Amino acid sequence: MSQVRYRFADRRVGRASGGALLMTDSQSDARYFRSVVNEIEAEAQRRSASGEYPRALLRSLDEEFRRWIPDASLENGIEDTIRGIEAAAYLDVAVPVDSRNPLGRFVKWFVRRLTYFYHRHVAQQITALGIHVTRPLRLLDASLKSFDRRLCELEDRLDVGATTRSELLAGIAIFPIATDLREPLSSHLLGAPGRVLLGDHVDADLLQFLRAGGVDVYGVTPSAGEHQIADVRHEGLIEHLGHLEDKSLGGFVLCGLTDQASLNEQLRALRLLLLRSKSGSTVAVIVVHSETWLTRLGPVAADLFDGRPLHPETWSHLLLREHALGVTAIESSDGTSTLITAKLP
């Protein structure tokens, strides 16, 4: 180290071939600093590999470095944190016996030798505990990484699917609700124990017909500006249901979404509607038949759509699974759609 200090002093001042002193610039000083640091690190690594530095000293130095140097695990993720736990879980039972007094060195060596089996037993248990602690952390890290990959793939898929679907929806008209289904629907909803939600396709004529029959109904549709009638909320059905309290509806009519939404969206909408409906609510689902849906859209749009209509029997099954009473399916006269009605227990 003294040689390094003298070399640095000579380099700092600098000597010309004739012995004249020359001042160096900051750039050359920085290069020399790096060369000195590299030389010191290489020498330290050589001595560490040769066993010249005691193992306990290296461990204590690592602990001091971790105290004063910023935690690298914050940048390198959970993997470095787990490695740090694994390293800390290892206990070195070789207690240092260095002492200036030969008698003190002998006493330390004797105590270490006498208690070595005990320390080794404790150290093995602590190390095993560290392994058992880090194992679930590694499993959790692997699961999170797998979840992150799948989430990225899903986001990419949804980004493309959402664009394609929005383009398709823009050029496709909503399936009209058969007029002969209005009367049985109105009769079924009459006497509902609260407000009835119609969504997410609001047929203005159907809405007026239900109100004229005495049904307290309001509409929810994402198509803003399409309907200029009173009490129609222009927002997504699932978004609207997210703002409602449980047991706040006296019934619902689910339509529109049943023709174009994905399976997950349809099931989620039904689940939310059931949660928001009171006991004894009158409910209905209007679904277009798959054959009509395919003929109306064409094979290209049908293949590119994320979702497709569920069969009327599937909707009946979903309602029966929720213990709905009096589940009835009524097919329209033109055979294009079916009205499923039920009453919640």
Q: Of all residues in the chain, what percent carry a pLDDT higher than 70?
A: 72
Q: Please state the rounded mean pLDDT for residues 99-107.
A: 85
Higher pLDDT, 87 or 61: 87
* Helix 102-170 / helix 78-89 crossing angle, nearest 10 deg: 160
Q: What is residue 162's predicted lDDT score, i.e. its pLDDT?
A: 55
Q: What is residue 11's predicted lDDT score, i.e. its pLDDT?
A: 43
Q: Please state the rounded mean pLDDT for residues 227-251.
A: 87
**pLDDT of 138 above 70:** yes
Mention the CATH class of domain 179-343: alpha beta
- C-alpha–C-alpha distance, residues 310 and 293, integer Å: 11
Q: What is residue 261's predicted lDDT score, i.e. its pLDDT?
A: 82
**Residue 230 zone, left/alpha/beta (φ > 0; ψ -120 to 50; rest):** beta
Q: What is residue 102's predicted lDDT score, i.e. its pLDDT?
A: 85
Token pair listed for 24: 């160096």
Highest mean pLDDT out of 60-74, 121-135, 323-337:
323-337
**pLDDT of 24 above 60:** no
Distances from the Cα of 220 to the Cαs of 14, 56, 238, in angstroms? Answer: 84, 72, 10
pTM: 0.53
For 273-295, write each residue's pLDDT tens digit: 999 999 999 999 999 998 888 88
Domain boundaries, the chain: 179-343
Higher pLDDT, 270 or 71: 270
pLDDT confidence band for 3 (50 / 70 / 90): very low
Distances from the Cα of 254 to the Cαs of 44, 198, 258, 281, 343, in angstroms? Answer: 75, 6, 7, 14, 14
Q: Please state the rounded mean pLDDT for residues 22-35.
A: 60
Rounded (5°) CA angle 233-229-308: 55
Higher pLDDT, 185 or 123: 185
| CA atoms lying within 13 Å on the CB side of residue 222 | 15
Q: Of all residues in the chain, what percent carry a pLDDT higher than 90?
A: 30
Backbone angles phi, psi at 115, to 5 degrees: -105, 10
- C-alpha–C-alpha distance, residues 246 and 248, integer Å: 5
Q: What is residue 141's predicted lDDT score, i.e. its pLDDT?
A: 77
pLDDT confidence band for 324 (50 / 70 / 90): very high
Q: Please state the rounded mean pLDDT for residues 73-94.
A: 67
Q: Please state the rounded mean pLDDT for residues 172-177.
A: 70
**pLDDT of 120 above 70:** yes
Higher pLDDT, 84 or 317: 317
- C-alpha–C-alpha distance, residues 216 and 194, integer Å: 7
Q: What is residue 165's predicted lDDT score, i.e. its pLDDT?
A: 57
For 297-310, write each residue's pLDDT tens digit: 777 777 767 678 89
Higher pLDDT, 200 or 11: 200
